[in-house]
Amino acid sequence: MSELTAKVDYLADLNQAQRDAVTCTDGPIMVIAGPGSGKTRVLTYRISYLIEQGVPPWQILALTFTNKAAKEMRERIEKVVGSRAKYIWAGTYHSIFAKILRIEAAKIGYPPNFTIYDTDDTKSLIGDIISELSLDKQVYNAGQIRARISSAKSNLISPKAYLQQEELMNQDKLNRIPYFQTIYERYVNRCQKAGAMDFDDLLYQMYIMLYRNPENVKEKYQSQFRYILVDEFQDTNYLQYAIVKQLIEYPGSNKNICIVGDDAQSIYAFRGATIRNIFDFESDYPQHRKFKLEQNYRSTEHIVSAANQVIQNNRNQIEKTLWTDESGGNKIRIIKAVSDQEEGKRVADSIVEWKNRAGLANHQFAILYRTNAQSRIVEEQLRRNNIPYKVFGGLSFYQRKEIKDFIAYLRLATNPRDEEALKRVINYPRRGIGESTIQKALEYANEHQITLWEALHHPELLGRSASAVKHFLAVIQSCMEQASTQNAYAAALYIGKASGLLDALKADRTQDGISRLDNVNALLDGIQEYLENDEAVENETGERDLSAYLQTISLLTDQDEEIKNHDFVTLMSVHAAKGLEFHTVFIVGMEENLFPSYMSMADPDQLEEERRLFYVAITRAKRQLILTYATMRYQYGKPRFNDPSRFLEEIDQRHIDTAVTLRNAGPFADGPRILSTIPKLGAKKENKVEVDPAQFKVSPSEEIEVGMEVLHIKFGPGKVLHIDGARDNRVATIEFHNIDDPQRRIMLKFSKLQIIKR
């Protein structure tokens, strides 16, 4: 097939608006793309088109929100233009800028292998600074201080500039945190000294570098990136847009920038994203051309209309209406449950039902929730029904303690100035280096303006633990040598052994200990895979060493996870679901104070963001949408009663399957409650067993012993596995033969059991 026919082919694939957005290559362009309107298709075809028009791929910069989005885009472009696609610069803001900053590190006084501090590192460092300043840490909450520093950086306010902003300084006084600026300044210093950047620095330092423009580095990148595309523009913050502007604005520039976004899907205002960027773009580039993609190819009419109705309740929005020509389809179902547990059960039952009746596969279902904490209960119920599932988000692999410990060693071996990594592992595994020693060394380091690592080399201040410290330093020293001479895997393996970390894990034979060791081994496997992956990032000299490996993982997202086995039900937060689609979507926890979140209820703007979030959730569904809520749910370990979400009322009844809703006792009606609207198929074990009360004779609880066969009035026959506690507090673990989750713990004092066989 000639290049020409290929081109004709894919352009024919597009509707008019999409085609215009693809072929209008020069000058500033804005594409407003509703959910399911073929946005990704436009982006990939546009880049393919540019390359076919003769633009060298390395002159194209495509900024996306996740690495996965970038990777998928690249793969789809590759199908059109072949291997040239490898050379386009596509990635997240953070990863692209990290890459550039490493190349240019020398120009801004950072080592090329600088460490990237994650949120935990940042918080722990701020916590240290707060106690060094002897401030009350109830008042100076490390998490809140972190957020405030982050927002200062995102608005390009340096510690020095902050000092001059009277309004901010006054705010701090009013909020009783007058020393905020001092903390901020110290924090920036310490990061610099540790050779570390936090997430915001990757943007902030990039901006500052372009602004100060050492050795004309700005012109270098301006002339390289002739075509810039920004995906999810509604979720960019002030700083991100400011950087893009620096890259695009210079005398004689064509301003070939294409932004793609949807104000209705802006869901990251809480971390500084602002839809004002969209309006600013319009006034910054008055000559821009605007295309609206309003035809939805994803969902049926009921779903699209419901989404439109919901979003109409927001005042701030760009006028547009999503439409579809997929008429009809299933109506939306609303399920009411008495408790969070029952809610999960109903979801699981529905999935079983539809798998049997409609032949759907696991991967066609998604269960979405507002907060990650909600996954636990749903998981329980899915497990009970043997439905395979996968939870995305929450505690990711890289946030597990054992993984962070290991990675801290790896970080230390490539950058011993990394204070957070050093503190994390200096006494893990235990080597008798305690709190007081670290404290002394930290004080010394701050006093003499040196790093913690250097301070530890002064044996006179160490006292009792001097020899332990000396040994530790020697171990790290040898790790550093390995890291600079060996490949990533060999170095990591050496470090795991030399540090004693692997031995410590192996020694722990508990169930948790074994799984921790498995995780660390999985990490080692991951490093091996990294060596074999030909698309992997390499360091400046083209090697796959530890420092290059650490670069690749520090900016991974949960959503970047490779999916191998495909057939499972997806569980994730609504935020994480952005950009995805599923045949059937459950949105659980549709309750006031949860969705919308109680944190947003007081502020109309935040409430609108919650509504946009709901809009995103609805539009993930292709064919079927089920909304569920519970009258009672456990929050903070306490039962809470919430009303059904106000968002439910915003959907017109004609899109709602009232047959289900009525049988369900309805979201707003009172009436007899029917626990299951969906009849159970086949013989399914219930958690109740028929026992004839007339035949039942209670045995005295003190006679019950391990190994006996007993009968329970509700759970039926079972075997006593073991008994803890004594006398009145005896608790038996009994395996019942005829119920769903057979192992139960029963307080013998209260239970009624009949001994069948002693």
- Residues with a known catalytic role: 39-40, 231-232, 265, 620
- For residues 681 and 661, what is the distance between their CA atoms, to the nearest angstrom? 21
For DNA, give the closer residue by CB, 163 or 473.
473
Burial class (CB in 10 A: 0-12, 13-18, 19+), 222: middle
534 Cβ neighbours under 8 A, 6+ residues apart: none
For DNA, give the closer residue by CB, 215 or 508.
508
For DNA, give the closer residue by CB, 250 or 598.
598
CB of 261 to DNA, least distance (A): 16
CA atoms within 13 A on the CB side of 674: 12
For DNA, give the closer residue by CB, 267 or 625.
267
Q: How many residues bind DNA (CB under 7 A)?
A: 51
Distance of CA 48 to the CA centre of its chain: 30
CB of 264 to DNA, least distance (A): 16
CB atoms within 10 A of CB 680: 11
Which residue of 224, 309, 314, 635 would you call a contact of DNA, by CB under 7 A? 635
Site pattern 236..275 for DNA (x: CB under 7 A): -------------------------------xx-xx----
The interface region with DNA, picked from 301-309, 321-329, 431-439, 471-479 by CB under 7 A, is 431-439
Q: Which of 61, 174, 200, 16 is nearest to 117 (CA)?
A: 200
Which residue of 373, 450, 493, 723 would you call a contact of DNA, by CB under 7 A? 373
Q: Is 636 among the residues that bind DNA (CB under 7 A)?
A: yes
Q: Which of residues 380-399 bind DNA (CB under 7 A)?
A: 393
535 Cβ neighbours under 8 A, 6+ residues apart: 86
3-state secondary structure of 579: coil
Q: Which of 201, 203, 240 is nearest to 117 (CA)?
A: 201
Per the CB < 8 A criterion, the answer to whether 368 and 589 are in contact is no
For DNA, give the closer residue by CB, 362 or 427.
427
For DNA, give the closer residue by CB, 171 or 436.
436
Q: Is 664 among the residues that bind DNA (CB under 7 A)?
A: no
What values do phi and psi take at 292, rounded to 5?
A: -115, 125
For DNA, give the closer residue by CB, 170 or 436.
436
CB of 87 to DNA, least distance (A): 22
**∠23-28-34 over CA atoms, to 5°?**
70
Q: Is 324 among the residues that bind DNA (CB under 7 A)?
A: no
Q: CA separation (Å) from 383 to 263, 370, 675?
A: 38, 21, 20
Q: Is 673 among the residues that bind DNA (CB under 7 A)?
A: no
Strands 60-64 and 89-92: parallel
Which residue of 197, 378, 555, 710 would you call a contact of DNA, by CB under 7 A? 555
CB of 548 to DNA, least distance (A): 19
Q: Is 519 among the residues that bind DNA (CB under 7 A)?
A: no
Which residue of 155, 165, 372, 631 would you call a contact of DNA, by CB under 7 A? 372
Sign of CA dihedral 93, 96, 98, 104: negative
CB of 71 to DNA, least distance (A): 14
Q: Which of residues 453-482 bind DNA (CB under 7 A)?
A: 464-465
- For residues 344 and 364, what is the distance between their CA atoms, to the nearest angstrom? 18
The interface region with DNA, picked from 631-639, 641-649, 696-704, 740-748 by CB under 7 A, is 631-639
Which residue of 427, 539, 701, 738 would you call a contact of DNA, by CB under 7 A? 427
- For residues 673 and 667, what is the distance between their CA atoms, to the nearest angstrom? 11
- For residues 414 and 476, what is the distance between their CA atoms, to the nearest angstrom? 10
Q: Is 524 among the residues that bind DNA (CB under 7 A)?
A: no
The interface region with DNA, picked from 138-146, 442-450, 541-549, 678-686 by CB under 7 A, is 138-146
Per the CB < 8 A criterion, the answer to whether 59 and 226 are in contact is yes
The interface region with DNA, picked from 22-30, 137-145, 183-191, 490-498 by CB under 7 A, is 137-145
3-state secondary structure of 695: helix
Cis peptide bond prior to 251, omega within 30° of 0: no
Name residue 245's amino acid: K
Which residue of 357, 383, 430, 497 would you call a contact of DNA, by CB under 7 A? 430
Distance of CA 123 to the CA centre of its chain: 18
For DNA, give the closer residue by CB, 65 or 489.
65
- For residues 100 and 205, what is the distance between their CA atoms, to the nearest angstrom? 11
CB of 48 to DNA, least distance (A): 25
CB atoms within 10 A of CB 727: 8
Q: Is 758 among the residues that bind DNA (CB under 7 A)?
A: no
For DNA, give the closer residue by CB, 200 or 419.
200
For DNA, give the closer residue by CB, 29 or 426.
426
Burial class (CB in 10 A: 0-12, 13-18, 19+), 484: middle
For DNA, give the closer residue by CB, 465 or 624.
465
Q: Is 637 among the residues that bind DNA (CB under 7 A)?
A: yes
Q: Is 434 among the residues that bind DNA (CB under 7 A)?
A: yes
Per the CB < 8 A criterion, the answer to whether 753 and 696 are in contact is no
Q: Is 342 among the residues that bind DNA (CB under 7 A)?
A: no
Per the CB < 8 A criterion, the answer to whether 716 and 738 are in contact is yes
Q: Is 435 among the residues that bind DNA (CB under 7 A)?
A: yes
CB of 714 to DNA, least distance (A): 20
Q: Which of 339, 270, 346, 365 is nearest to 566 (CA)?
A: 365
- For residues 315 and 530, what is the distance between their CA atoms, to the nearest angstrom? 48
- For residues 240 and 154, what is the distance between their CA atoms, to the nearest angstrom? 8
Q: Is 731 among the residues that bind DNA (CB under 7 A)?
A: no
Q: Is 424 among the residues that bind DNA (CB under 7 A)?
A: no
Site pattern 201..240 for DNA (x: CB under 7 A): ----------------------------------------
- For residues 232 and 100, what is the distance between their CA atoms, to the nearest angstrom? 22
> For 386, left (φ over 0), alpha (ψ -120 to 50), or beta?
left
CB of 375 to DNA, least distance (A): 10
Which residue of 10, 49, 65, 207 would you call a contact of DNA, by CB under 7 A? 65
CB of 270 to DNA, least distance (A): 4
For DNA, give the closer residue by CB, 24 or 601.
601
Per the CB < 8 A criterion, the answer to whether 385 and 448 are in contact is no
Q: Is 645 among the residues that bind DNA (CB under 7 A)?
A: no
CB of 341 to DNA, least distance (A): 12
DSSP for 291-338 reads EEE-B-SSS-HHHHHHHHHHHTT-SS------B-S----PPBEEEEEE
For DNA, give the closer residue by CB, 599 or 756.
599
The interface region with DNA, picked from 23-31, 290-298, 423-431, 536-544 by CB under 7 A, is 423-431
- For residues 325 and 300, what is the distance between their CA atoms, to the nearest angstrom? 8
Which residue of 15, 25, 40, 141 would you call a contact of DNA, by CB under 7 A? 141
Q: Which of residues 71-100 bind DNA (CB under 7 A)?
A: 92-95
Q: Which of residues 559-618 bind DNA (CB under 7 A)?
A: 559, 573, 575-576, 597-600, 606
Sheet holding 89-92, edge to edge: 89-92, 60-64, 227-230, 257-261, 29-33, 289-293
- For residues 360 and 351, what is the distance between their CA atoms, to the nearest angstrom? 9
Which residue of 177, 311, 378, 433 would you call a contact of DNA, by CB under 7 A? 433
Residues that bind DNA (CB under 7 A): 65-66, 92-95, 119, 137-138, 141, 143, 199-200, 267-268, 270-271, 370-373, 376, 393, 401, 427, 430-437, 464-465, 555, 557-559, 573, 575-576, 597-600, 606, 634-637
